Amino acid sequence: MGEQIKYQSRGAYQDLYDESIRNPKGFWARQADLIHWHKPFDKVLDDSKPPFAAWYVGGQTNLCYNAVDRHLDQLGDKPALIYVSTEVDQEKTYTFRQLHQEVQIAAAMLQKMGVKKGDRVLIYMPMIPEATFAMLACARIGAIHSVVFGGFASHSLASRIDDAKPKVIVSADAGSRAGKVVAYKPLLDEAINKANHKPDNVLMVNRGLIAFDQVHGRDQDYTTLRKELANAKVPVTWLQATDTSYILYTSGTTGKPKGVQRDVGGYTVALAASMKYIFMGEAGKTFFATSDIGWVVGHSYIVYGPLVAGMATVMYEGLPIRPDAGIWWKIVQDYKVSVLFSAPTAVRVLKKQDPAYLSKYDLSSLKALFLAGEPLDETTSQWISSAIGKPIVDNYWQTETGWPILAVQRGIEEMPGKLGSPGVPVFGFNVNVLSEDTAQPCKVNEKGVVAIEGPLPPGCMQTVWGDDERFVKTYWSSFKTRQVYSTFDWGIRDEDGYFFILGRTDDVINVAGHRLGTREIEESISSHSAVAEVAVVGVADQVKGQVAVAFAILKSMDALDAAQSKTLEAEIMKVVDGQLGAVARPARVYFVNVLPKTRSGKLLRRSIQAVCEGRDPGDMTTIEDPTALEQIKASMN
């Protein structure tokens, strides 16, 4: 992987890709054979109302059946879910048969609480097996799950409760991070109090990590119900392929989170195809994604994708450096992991540790290390590749697409990678780099917006939950002259067809693979009584890729001394922690008297970002106050 290789063959990949673009209906009809259908589909694709696309119309299937039941005859006694927690020092393996029973028990619990097909179930949980059971149980009975990342605080959680309107919330007393207990229940109670919508029941997994108050008549105990329903048999509810499987909220450029709505049939087929062609998945082997179920990687490649492919999946609760920096490699050795999927941030963290851990364990079972979530720099890629002696496979995608847009697809042919590039377009994705001004394809190595021609392939978002108009306006209206899906990322394509991602075109920042809307953070900071106005930008960071940095104008014009500034900065960070969670906390809050804006009042975010990163801020002819950028620079010294 060290040297840059020119693509020689492109045979098998090019043939497969070309067919998927030239004849998408024929191509995706063939891929549909990778999963089980209760009733065959009448129509592969209905794209009569662009940009909306309905895949496998008339077909009936079930995501849980394809992930669990389908494998019982061949793989019933093989590992399905491997739970490893270095936080509470537990390891437990569930076979496909055991997983099948646990999912039926969880489904019976939800049904006992009145959950029916189409009802929403919000899941706010740490990385524990019950979270997987709850997700699969929803899929089994046709309920729509919405998993909310456990790092989100009550304000963010309340907004998601109000948007999804769940009948039931499944949660736990607490999680644990770096050996410190992270209380979930108080945050959940606070969020429910803040929300206008109230769930009928809260199903609580009590891990014994904190003492908590049960709300009489609302809160149900998971362990008690599990005993009562230990022998439950809950048949699969066959769903239309176009029914909704889940909602997953993603940060946007406005404060209101967007509920990415996913279907059932197209998603199952897309995952099955991606496991085969991209991730080299093999039934009976082990897949380990180090993400969290609160993110899209956790949905697609911790819970659903590996299981659909008949693989065991590792669910890890813990950090990559605890108890030491060898923990991931120990898991690879102990469970014979064949595919490891992580993020560049995690690898950059490992780079700071003792390199001896990288050669301490037997990694012979590992075929490749896949990395995604943020751009992978050449230094990190080369370092980890030479350290573990395995191919490093970059890939690029979004919550909205649900599976990779760009990747080196080694399941099709032995494709070379290029340092700094996530690869070439994945089958089904008609990807291009378009000029921001003309919407025409850019020349080779010319910077433009990475965009996808409609219809989007199976597995991508159907719409924004409850808001078709926002779906069209947000994703399909960036160009006046043509309707294409904008990724909101700058990119270039080289002479060999490899793409390179150069950063966001909008106001979303990528912190350690977590997408955060600057607007959400700004609204949170603005709620502090001392703040009059604020701008938040993403600034390059060696470890996390980007960090949020805030510049605030205070209501009082009195100058602050260093101690007062530090105290106020800590107060503001505490406000963000309380409302959005530590994941959204800015790295720094600087105080200024003016923010750089155009004469029409538009905030010059890219210019602020450039100054923070020591770059030329570019054309400043439209700036209202030329001293504003000097203030930004001075405040950081």
Where are the chain's structural domains? Answer: 11-484, 508-635
Residue with tokens 């995690």: 346
∠ CA 100-105-107 to the nearest 5 degrees?
Answer: 95
Asked whether 454 and 47 are in contact (CB, 8 A), the reply is yes
3: left (phi over 0), alpha (psi -120 to 50) or beta: beta
Task: Count, in order, helices (H) and strands (E) of the chain.
Answer: 20, 32
Query: pLDDT digits over 541-572, tens only?
Result: 888 888 999 999 898 877 888 899 999 999 99
CA torsion sign for 63, 64, 69, 71 is positive
- Looking at residue 6, its pLDDT comes to 44
- Looking at residue 602, its pLDDT comes to 65
Asked whether 288 and 420 are in contact (CB, 8 A), the reply is no
- Looking at residue 532, its pLDDT comes to 84
Low-confidence ranges of the chain (pLDDT < 50): 1-7
- Looking at residue 617, its pLDDT comes to 82
Query: pLDDT digits over 161-192, tens only?
Result: 999 999 999 999 999 999 999 999 999 999 99
Instruction: Report the relative pairing of strands 79-85 and 60-61 from DSSP bridges.
Output: unpaired
Instruction: Report the relative pairing of strands 431-434 and 239-240 from DSSP bridges.
Output: unpaired
pTM comes to 0.86
The set of residues, in sequence order, having a beta carbon less than 8 Å from that of 171 and lying 6+ positions away, is: 123, 124, 125, 184, 185, 188, 202, 203, 204, 205
- Looking at residue 519, its pLDDT comes to 74
SS (H, E, C) 306-317: HHHCCCEEEEEE
DSSP 440: S
- Looking at residue 2, its pLDDT comes to 31
Rounded CA-CA distance 366/329 in Å is: 10
Closest CA to 589 of 544, 535, 511: 535
Give alpha helix (H) positions in 335-434: 344-351, 378-388
Asked whether 251 and 520 are in contact (CB, 8 A), the reply is yes
**pLDDT over 90 percentage in the chain:** 74
CA torsion sign for 458, 373, 394, 540 is positive
| H or E element at residue 590 | strand 588-591
Residue with tokens 């896949």: 370
Closest CA to 333 of 290, 280, 286: 286
∠ CA 502-507-513 to the nearest 5 degrees?
Answer: 60
- Looking at residue 512, its pLDDT comes to 74
Cis peptide before 257 (omega within 30 of 0): no
DSSP string for residues in 139-173: HHHT-EEEE--TT--HHHHHHHHHHH--SEEEEES
CATH T-level fold of 508-635: GMP Synthetase; Chain A, domain 3 (3.30.300)
Asked whether 104 and 112 are in contact (CB, 8 A), the reply is no
Distances (CA, A) of 289 to 138, 225, 341: 22, 30, 4
Relative orientation angle of helices 154-164 and 185-194, to the nearest 10 degrees = 50
525: left (phi over 0), alpha (psi -120 to 50) or beta: alpha
Q: CB count, 10 Å around CB of 530?
A: 13
Q: What is the mean pLDDT of the chain?
A: 92
- Looking at residue 252, its pLDDT comes to 60
Rounded CA-CA distance 120/246 in Å is: 8
Asked whether 536 and 522 are in contact (CB, 8 A), the reply is yes
Asked whether 247 and 259 are in contact (CB, 8 A), the reply is yes
DSSP string for residues in 490-522: EEEE-TTS-EEEEEESSSEEEETTEEEEHHHHH
Rounded CA-CA distance 116/112 in Å is: 10
| H or E element at residue 270 | helix 265-277
Side by side, which strands form the sheet with 545-554? 531-541, 545-554, 588-591
Relative orientation angle of helices 605-612 and 628-635, to the nearest 10 degrees = 40
CATH homologous superfamily of 11-484: ANL, N-terminal domain (3.40.50.12780)
- Looking at residue 9, its pLDDT comes to 55
Burial 11-33 (b: 16+ CB within 10 A, else e): eebeebbeebbeebeebbbebbe
Cα Dmax for the chain: 74
Rounded CA-CA distance 568/584 in Å is: 17
Structure tokens at 377: 């720099």
Give CA torsion, residues 361, 365, 367, 372, to 10 deg: -60
- Quote the distance between the C-alpha of residue 290 and its chain's center: 12
Rounded CA-CA distance 371/357 in Å is: 19
- Looking at residue 254, its pLDDT comes to 57
Rounded CA-CA distance 341/357 in Å is: 18
- Looking at residue 10, its pLDDT comes to 67
Phi and psi torsions of 261, nearest 5° = -105, 125
- Looking at residue 1, its pLDDT comes to 28
Cis peptide before 323 (omega within 30 of 0): yes
Rounded CA-CA distance 621/358 in Å is: 52
Rounded CA-CA distance 486/503 in Å is: 13
